[in-house]
Structure 1
Amino acid sequence: MRLLALVDGSEHSLRALDYSINLLNGIGISENRPKKSAKNNHELIILNVLPTIHSSPGILTPIKPSKDGKSISLDQYTNQVNRIIESEWVKNLEELKIKYEKSGVRTSTKILKGSHSSRYVAYSIIKFVKDQKVDLIVLGSVGLGGVLKNKALGSVTRNIAEISTCPVLIVP
């Protein structure tokens, strides 16, 4: 089984990731089939969609974002911020991969470039799911931008559930 766990750093997404590994550890285990061989048949893909920051190319006013006093364009600044965010997520995903590989399940990580549109993010994820022949998507009920007070589904979660052609497991 190929399982995709979506992670954005929120408590709900990390809980969904834990649930994913527990689910994979329990699949296919019987008295005649030892736990170790069952795990080797499964793969966990941990996916993050980067929240890319965009700037308008028409804004030419230089800014001074650092202590050295050098002026750079807003476009250069947002590119720097995006590279920092991506670098941090590469580290975060590598740490998660190491942690979850200890359970014996093959684990890989992937980063997709995002957008401000939850619908676009959902379509990007579903395209990835189809391309990678994922069997199950596991995600938290809300992410970093979710409305916790109302216990509503986050917009990305809702969009994925609406457009996915493979099963979706939503972890509260």
Structure 2
Amino acid sequence: MDRIRSKGNVLVDLTRFAHIVFIQKSIHTIMGKKYQTILVPYDNSKYSKKALTEALEIARMFGSDLYLLTVVDALTVAPSRFYLKPGSGEGKKLDKYLKGAFSKIDLVLRDAVLKCKEKDVCADYEIVVGSPVNVILKFAKKKKVELVVMGSQGLTGFGRLRALGSVSRKVSELAECPVMIVR
């Protein structure tokens, strides 16, 4: 009886102790289905790098295309504007900061895509401002993604512009496709 647990507790245990947790929403297994499109929410953190490594292996195995998606949480950007004094020049400073941050994110993503192409995997990227869970789910649906591979923990690879919060659990619950959570 001690071994019987609710789905939620098992998921928590798995994500805490396992290297990779694969949440499958269909009867296919990872080896029984060819994934044409794979999404990797990416922010250059340790966990998103591990997720990209796993996604690259799967993509090479199946000849899949990869999408790297960085989501800049709108809540970390937008509220700042409410505290700016009109005509103070602070708005221009914020815009300059954001432009520089997005430029750095763009360089990191270009480098990641180049590494994918060096491994003969077709890859592309996008940077989107919004709610991380909503953006990831909408992007996956729009691009007809067949597998999401993402890190397991709160990701802060781009510092103050938090690209992904701790959203892997919500994405795994709400996604219409399988989700692989890499630890």
Does the 8 Å CA contact 2:37/2:145 hold for their aligned counterparts?
A: yes
Does the 8 Å CA contact 1:5/1:137 hold for their aligned counterparts?
A: yes
Q: Secondary structure at the match of 2:167?
A: helix
Q: Which has the higher contact order (CA 8 A, sep 6+)?
A: 2
TM-score (norm 2): 0.68
**Unpaired stretches in structure 2, ≥5 consecutive residues:** 1-35, 157-164
- Of 25, 37, 40 in structure 2, the residue corresponding to residue 2 of structure 1 is 37
How many residues of Structure 1 are paired with residues of Structure 2 in the alignment? Answer: 138
- Of 30, 48, 54 in structure 1, the residue corresponding to residue 70 of structure 2 is 48
Identity %, equivalent residues = 28
- Of 59, 78, 97 in structure 1, the residue corresponding to residue 94 of structure 2 is 78
How far has the Cα of 1:110 moved from its partner?
1.0
**Unpaired stretches in structure 1, ≥5 consecutive residues:** 28-38, 63-70, 115-119, 146-153
Q: Secondary structure at the match of 1:110?
A: strand
The reply on whether 1:100 has 2:116 as its aligned counterpart is yes
Deviations along 1:6-58, one digit per CA (max 9) or x if unpaired, are 1112101100000000111123xxxxxxxxxxx3xx20111111245232435
Q: Distance in 2 between matches of 1:22 and 1:143?
A: 23
What are the within-5 Å matches in structure 2 for residues 34-45 of structure 1?
Answer: 39=63, 42-45=64-67
Per the alignment, residue 51 of structure 2 pairs with 16
How far has the Cα of 1:143 moved from its partner?
3.3
Identify the structure with the greater helix proportion: 2
Larger Rg: 1
Does the 8 Å CA contact 2:148/2:178 hold for their aligned counterparts?
A: yes
The reply on whether 1:166 has 2:171 as its aligned counterpart is no
Q: Distance in 2 between matches of 1:3 and 1:23?
A: 9
Does the 8 Å CA contact 2:152/2:181 hold for their aligned counterparts?
A: yes
Two-structure CA RMSD over aligned residues (Å)? 2.1
How far has the Cα of 1:81 moved from its partner?
1.4
Deviations along 1:63-92, one digit per CA (max 9) or x if unpaired, are xxxxxxxx622x222222111111111111
Q: Distance in 1 between matches of 2:116 and 2:100?
A: 24
Stretches (4+) displaced over 3 A:
56-59
